[in-house]
Amino acid sequence: MRLDKFLKVSRLIKRRTVAKDVSEQGRVLLNGREAKPSATVKVGDEITVQFGQKLVTVRVERLAETTRKDEAATMYTLIKEEAVPRSNDLF
């Protein structure tokens, strides 16, 4: 599954176009490396997303083409959530 689609379907990011933009800005890491929106996500991968002043790291638990809102959180496990240092360039 494409990274931008996973971020949208899992509801980590609400819109696929926003997920694409965030990835293109270098604010998404897939297994520790910057990832393009078209990168392939597999079960067991770790995704880190920078949301403003917060870093969220999750592990992919399952893939689904569509999911209901109440089931979206079962697609990943939250590993850590941390504040971003005050540096402008994180990655």
* List of domains in the chain: 3-83 (3.10.290.10)
pLDDT average, residue stretch 34-52: 96
For residue 17, give the H/E element and its range. Answer: helix 16-24
Q: What is the pTM of this model?
A: 0.87
- The least confident of 6-20, 59-73, 76-90 is 76-90
Given a cut of 80, whether residue 85 has pLDDT beyond it is no
78 vs 74: CA distance, rounded Å: 10
Given a cut of 70, whether residue 4 has pLDDT beyond it is yes
Side-chain-side CA neighbours of residue 5 (13 Å)? 12
22 vs 37: CA distance, rounded Å: 9
Which pLDDT does position 82 carry in this prediction?
92
63 vs 21: CA distance, rounded Å: 21
pLDDT average, residue stretch 55-75: 94
51 vs 27: CA distance, rounded Å: 8
Backbone Cα Rg of the chain: 12
Given a cut of 80, whether residue 86 has pLDDT beyond it is no
